[in-house]
Structure 1
Amino acid sequence: MPISIAIKIIATCALVAGAAPAFSHMVLEAGSAAAGSSYKAVFLVGHGCQGSATTGVAVQIPAGFQGAKPYPKAGWNVSATSAPLATPYTSHGKQITQDVSVVRWTAASKEAALPDALVDEFLLRGKLPEMAGPLWFKVLQTCENGHNDWSEVPATGTSTQGLKAPAVLLEVTPAQAGPHQH
């Protein structure tokens, strides 16, 4: 085998191996967004549980993420649970003392479940906090057989290295300054 072909095979294997972790956990399509902005969270489900189809996805909304509204999904039932806020906020002149704490999608039938071999998206929208920093979304993925509880958060920092079931990280970046006006 010529060396150039061997190098291409090794490079391809390295790319495939490097891409595997991207689909081995629950992730966000866009992993960062500006503080204070409206954010469309697209949760990517890359596999089921031990080979079985995904039948439910429940996203715990982190503190500071305001006004979460889920997108409907064909063949799935969607619901949202609200809870009292530790720190109320004002939106459109109204004091908000309760907000969405959990969003759930549940397959309406066995046929609607997400097969283990396929990838799909679950979406919600909300407003990001005004301060930059990490937001961790804990996600419970239920399947025909078992579940994946994506809820581990590192003790410090944002590295998920070594965690078996890391929560989904959104890096909230500093807000962009508007154009300078004279």
Structure 2
Amino acid sequence: MLNTRFLTLALAGVLAMPAQAHITVHPDAGNADTYFQTDFTVPHACGAGTATIALRVQIPQGVHSVKPQFKPGWTVTTRSRKVDPPIKAHHGPDITETISEVEWRGGPLPDTLYDSFGLIVKLPSGEQTLSFPVTQTCDKGAVQWSDAPGGEHPAPTVRVTTGAQQ
């Protein structure tokens, strides 16, 4: 009887816990050397009763063209890094600087709602997997989504393919 009661209480406790949902990117695969539009989806805040007030996405090396989505109620800021050696541009001057980080700040986005934050990027050449570490800042705390796949807080990844392998 005691074992049954303990098992019932333990199961109820597990079922009452919120599922650990991750920040995801969709679509999560694109063709090399193409412009790629994707969304980073925030399914929850940093904890029950908190709200997301900022989302910062780090842009991996090799991605040299980045355009963030405008979101009403949020401000967008970017940080840049030097490109050395410069990259020949198809139109206009050579590329000597690129966006290394995009941050949306505002909201707030309550824990009971979700939202997506979009980017258009030019994917690099060659098959590879790009990791986009994300910092989710809430009114009470922050979460670093930067672990390897399978980790507790995995970074969103985009698979770069050649041809129609998506």
Bin the TM-score by the shorter chain: 0.7 to 0.9
CA distance in 2 between partners of 1:82 and 1:118 (Å)? 31
Q: CA RMSD in A?
A: 1.6
Cα offset for 1:174? 1.1
Residue matched to 1:164: 152
In 1, Cα distance between equivalents of 2:99 and 2:86: 12
Counterpart of 2:78 (choices 71, 80, 90) is 80
Q: 1:166 to 1:86 in 2, by over 3 A?
A: farther
Q: Which position in structure 1 is the counterpart of 2:28?
A: 31
State the Cα distance separating 1:65 from its structure 2 match.
1.4
Measure how far apart 1:132 and its partner are.
1.1
Q: Is there any run of 5+ residues in structure 2 with no aligned partner, and where?
A: 1-18
Amino acid in structure 1 at the alignment position of 2:57:
V
2:162 aligned partner: 174
Aligned partners of 1:47 and 1:113: how far apart in 2?
12
Q: Alpha-carbon deviation of 1:121?
A: 0.4
Cα distance, 1:87–1:48 mapped onto 2, change above 3 Å: farther
Query: What is the Cα deviation at residue 33 of structure 1?
Result: 0.7
Q: Which residue is equivalent to 2:125?
A: 130
- 1:66 aligns to what SS in structure 2? coil
Report what 2:7 is aligned to.
none
1:99-142 per-position Cα deviation (integer Å, ceiling 9, x unaligned)? 000000000xxxx3111111100011110001111000000000
Mapping for residues 36-51 of structure 1, pairs under 5 Å: 36-51=33-48
Q: 8 Å contact 1:82–1:99 — kept in the other structure?
A: yes
The aligned amino acid for 1:58 is R
Cα distance in 1 for partners of 2:85, 2:139 equals 38
TM norm structure 2: 0.82
Partner SS for 1:43:
strand
Structure 1 CA distance for aligned equivalents of residues 73 and 123 of structure 2: 29
Whether the 8 Å CA contact 1:26–1:46 is kept in 2: the answer is: yes
**Identity of counterpart residues, as a percentage?**
35
**Contact 1:36–1:175 (8 Å) recurs in 2:** no
Shift of 1:87: 4.8
Please name the residue that 2:11 is paired with: none
Q: Distance in 1 between matches of 2:73 and 2:100?
A: 23
**What is the TM-score with the length of structure 1 in the denominator?**
0.75
Over 3 Å counting, the alpha-carbon distance change for 1:86 and 1:139 in structure 2 is farther
Deviation at 1:92, TM superposition (A): 2.4
Partner of 1:117: 112
The 1-side partners of 2:69 and 2:43 are apart by: 19
Bigger helix share: 1
